């Protein structure tokens, strides 16, 4: 017996309340052309939204046909996607605009340029029939060892983050696309990725980085996403997603947010391992969430969450008034954003690369007198495997260097070598007689990168160092691993680009 058949008619809810409960769900699914029958039944009963991932994307034309198909089933169905830019997104196969990550935009600190990048992303979404974007990130990168925010944040200063959030939200709104500031009340003060475990931020209320979220609310952001983070000084027992004190008292009363509060994905281990996705859905809605996301393509998980919510409504454990309130907000969001605009105006295809070029930083003098010093280089690009929930993957520095200097050689290394010393010896032999470039991505978080880099520098002290995450010593820094970031770094390394674009860290 399937979940759709679980509820006996005698115990069924009124049709309008059943639809109301379904409005509070956002589901992931498998497929690029055919909509699964289970998803069709959920949509028929009022499903509030779907979230697309790389698994749903083959090319731009296919995505537009898919969104048309979904909306033909229910015109008020919200179709959303994570679309932060800078390598955090799922539309590379659909010709997504190349824009750098948020940190690079914050380094440039030109809100007008940030708006142009956000406009390009939102215009592309609108052209594909996607009208909800789970971006921008409002977190402040506070902890140096934070494993999940980093270059996804606009920076380390709440005021800088706030002004770039405003620019992003306003540009996205102008395209008729719903933006979503995340992850309330902040994920930048943790040492744990909530995808993998419970994350904790021990700071008291008056030390939290709430200014960006206040700025987002003031800018009219229609959605906020909650963090699966425990704030013991606010609620010692539950993460923000499940906390009535945080979602109710702090978000609704203190910040005055009246839009849709959506949970981060319930299958993340901070929720799934301790509560289970189904109980997480019920508790989140009771605490004040308006929609809960089940991003995994296994629709049985979505059905279990749905059944838990319906069961709690029948028993009175979940008050009808709370779900009616939540669904009302979702309906208003859908009235405003579910239907794509007509013809989509063109966006600036060069905004992202301009921003990435302006963001590159390095030692004073490098990129000026040093232009062209690494032509024909052997490039060693060290980086962790793409995060399965975030990255489209596939970008590497060698490919971008070779695009501007076909004589370059090299390799990408995405994990710890069995014998780093032997690997370093082999690279040194292959690179003999050529400039050597050693690129790392957040090496402080990944000891294998530090060890291999040290081995290479012992053999080649003349190697040029590059950081493709946050700054790392004296390395040339791109502040991100999006294609635009890597292309900009490649131009500087090879001397192909705008002379004088690279400045010292303080510039």
Strands (E), 264-408: 292-294, 378-382
**What local confidence, expressed as pLDDT, does residue 367 receive?**
44
pLDDT value for 349 = 96
Please name which of 10, 107, 45 lies closest in space to residue 309, comparing C-alpha atoms. 45
In a domain, 198, yes or no: yes
304-347 pLDDT, tens digit per residue, is: 999 999 999 999 999 999 999 999 999 999 999 999 888 899 99
Whether residue 507 is contained in a domain is answered as: no
Q: What is the CATH number of the domain that holds 405?
A: 3.40.50
84: left (phi over 0), alpha (psi -120 to 50) or beta: alpha
Pair 85, 116 in one domain: yes
What's the pLDDT tens digit per position in 414-464?
999 999 999 999 999 999 999 999 999 999 999 999 999 999 999 999 999
Residues 221 and 174 in one domain: yes
CA-CA-CA-CA torsion sign (327, 330, 336, 338): negative
Residues 324 and 418 placed together within one structural domain of the fold: no
Report the sign of the C-alpha dihedral through residues 332, 295, 84, 163, in that order. positive
Q: What value does the mean pLDDT take over residues 291-308?
A: 98
Q: Please state, in angstroms and rounded to a whole number, the distance separating the CA atoms of residues 315 and 289.
A: 20
CATH number of the domain that residue 129 is part of:
3.20.20.300
Pairing of strands 292-294, 229-230: unpaired
- Asked whether residue 285 is assigned to any structural domain, the reply reads yes
Render pLDDT for 373-425 as a digit per residue (tens, 0 to 9): 789 999 999 999 888 888 777 789 999 999 999 999 999 999 999 999 999 99
Cα–Cα distances in angstroms (integers) from residue 139 to residues 46, 156, 159, 320, in the given order: 32, 9, 12, 33
Which residues 6+ apart lie within 8 Å of 249 measured at CB?
none
Residues 278, 406: one domain? no
φ/ψ bin of 500: left (φ > 0), alpha (ψ from -120 to 50), beta (otherwise): left
77-96 b/e (C-beta count within 10 Å ≥ 16 → b): bbbbbbbbbbbbbbbbbbeb
- Domain membership of residue 395 (yes or no) is yes
Within this chain, do residues 85 and 188 fall inside the same structural domain, yes or no?
A: yes
> Given this model, what pLDDT does residue 363 score?
52
- Mean pLDDT score, 139-158: 97
**pTM given for the model:** 0.94
From residue 166, give the alpha-carbon distance in Å to each of 162, 169, 213, 278.
6, 5, 10, 35
Residue that is last in its domain, among 322, 337, 352:
337
Question: Does residue 178 lie within any of the structural domains?
Answer: yes
DSSP state of 57: -
Higher pLDDT, 368 or 443: 443
One domain, residues 98 and 186 = yes
**pLDDT exceeds 70 at position 91:** yes
Q: pLDDT at residue 301 above 90?
A: yes
Q: In this model, does residue 97 exceed pLDDT 80?
A: yes
User: Mind telling me the catalytic residues?
Assistant: 195, 264
pLDDT per residue as tens digits for the range 151-167: 999 999 999 999 999 99
- The answer to whether residues 161 and 112 touch, using CB atoms and an 8 Å cutoff, is no
pLDDT digits (tens, 9 = 90+) for 234-271: 999 999 999 999 999 999 999 999 999 999 999 999 99
26-30, 134-138, 354-358, 360-364, range with the lowest pLDDT: 360-364
Q: In Å, what is the CA distance from 48 to each residue of 6, 343, 393, 494?
A: 21, 25, 29, 49
Q: What are phi and psi of 144, to 5 degrees?
A: -55, -30
pLDDT at 424: 97
Residue 501 located in a structural domain: no
Q: Are residues 166 and 102 in the same domain?
A: yes
pLDDT for 369 beyond 90: no
Count of the separate structural domains present in the chain: 2
Average pLDDT of every residue of the chain: 93
If asked whether residues 130 and 161 sit together in one domain, one would say yes
Q: Which of 304, 322, 337 is the last residue of a domain?
A: 337
**In-domain check, residue 499:** no
Using the 3D structure, point to which of 337, 368, 385 is the last residue of a domain: 337
- Same domain (yes/no): 70, 31: yes
Q: Are residues 156 and 229 in the same domain?
A: yes
Per residue in 454-487, pLDDT (tens digit) is 999 999 999 999 999 999 988 999 999 999 999 9
**8-22 pLDDT tens trace:** 433 567 879 999 999
Q: Is 162 contained in some domain? A: yes
- The pLDDT score that the predictor gives to residue 502 is 40
Please give the Cα distance from 491 to 401 (Å, whole number): 7
Question: What are the pLDDT digits (tens) for 116-129?
Answer: 999 999 999 999 99
Mean pLDDT for the stretch of residues 295-302: 98
Residue pLDDT, tens place only, 42-67: 999 999 999 999 999 999 999 999 99
Contact 185, 228 (CB under 8 A): no
Residues 126 and 214 in one domain: yes
Is residue 13 located within the same domain as residue 91? yes
Judged by DSSP in three states, 261 sits in strand
Structural contact between residues 151 and 477, judged by C-beta atoms closer than 8 angstroms:
no
- Domain extent at residue 218: 3-337
Ramachandran angles phi, psi of 404, nearest 5°: -110, -15
Q: What pLDDT does residue 205 have?
A: 95
Q: Report which of residues 186 and 342 the model is more confident about.
A: 186
């Amino acid at each position: 017996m399937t979940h759709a058949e679980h509820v006996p008619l005698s115990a069924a809810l009124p049709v309008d309340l059943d639809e109301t409960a379904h409005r509070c769900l956002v589901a992931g699914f498998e497929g690029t052309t055919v909509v699964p029958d289970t998803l069709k039944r959920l949509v028929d009963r009022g499903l509030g939204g779907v979230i697309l991932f790389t698994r749903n994307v083959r090319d731009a034309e296919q995505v537009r046909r898919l969104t048309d198909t979904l909306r033909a089933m229910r015109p008020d169905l919200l179709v959303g996607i994570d679309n932060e830019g800078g390598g955090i997104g799922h539309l590379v196969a659909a010709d997504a605009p190349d824009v750098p990550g948020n940190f690079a935009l914050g380094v440039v600190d030109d809100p007008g340029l940030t708006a142009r990048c956000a406009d390009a992303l939102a215009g592309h979404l609108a052209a594909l029939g996607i009208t909800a974007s789970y971006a921008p990130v409002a977190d402040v990168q506070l902890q140096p060892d934070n494993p999940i925010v980093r270059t996804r944040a606009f920076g380390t200063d709440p005021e800088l983050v706030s002004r770039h959030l405003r620019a992003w939200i306003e540009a996205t709104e102008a395209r008729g696309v719903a933006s979503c500031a995340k992850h309330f009340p902040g994920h930048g003060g943790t040492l744990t990725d909530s995808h993998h475990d419970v994350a904790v931020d021990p700071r008291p209320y008056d030390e939290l980085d709430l200014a960006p979220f206040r700025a987002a609310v003031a800018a009219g952001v229609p959605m906020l996403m909650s963090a699966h983070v425990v704030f013991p000084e606010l609620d010692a027992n539950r993460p923000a997603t499940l906390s009535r004190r945080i979602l109710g008292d702090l978000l609704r009363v203190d910040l005055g947010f009246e839009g849709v509060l959506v949970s981060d994905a319930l299958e993340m281990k901070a929720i799934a391992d301790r509560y289970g996705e189904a109980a997480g859905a019920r508790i989140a809605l009771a605490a004040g969430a308006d929609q809960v996301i089940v991003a995994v393509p296994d629709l049985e998980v979505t059905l279990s969450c749905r059944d838990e919510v319906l069961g709690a409504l029948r028993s009175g454990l979940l008050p009808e008034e709370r779900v009616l309130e939540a669904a009302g907000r979702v309906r208003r969001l859908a009235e405003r954003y579910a239907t794509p605009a007509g013809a989509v105006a063109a966006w600036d295809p060069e905004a992202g690369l301009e921003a990435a070029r302006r963001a590159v930083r390095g030692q004073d003098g490098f990129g000026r007198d040093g232009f062209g010093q690494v032509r024909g280089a052997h490039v060693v690009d060290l980086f962790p495997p793409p995060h399965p929930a975030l990255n489209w993957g596939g970008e590497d520095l060698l490919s971008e260097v070779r695009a501007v200097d076909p004589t370059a050689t090299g390799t990408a290394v995405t994990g710890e070598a069995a014998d780093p010393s032997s690997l370093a010896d082999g690279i040194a032999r292959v690179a003999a007689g050529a400039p050597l470039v050693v690129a790392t991505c957040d090496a402080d978080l990944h000891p294998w990168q530090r060890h291999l880099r040290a081995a290479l520098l012992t053999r080649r002290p003349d190697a040029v160092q590059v950081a493709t995450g946050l700054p790392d010593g004296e390395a040339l820094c791109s502040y991100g691993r999006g294609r635009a970031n890597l292309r900009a770094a490649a131009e500087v390394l090879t001397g192909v680009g705008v002379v004088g674009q690279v400045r010292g860290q303080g510039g």
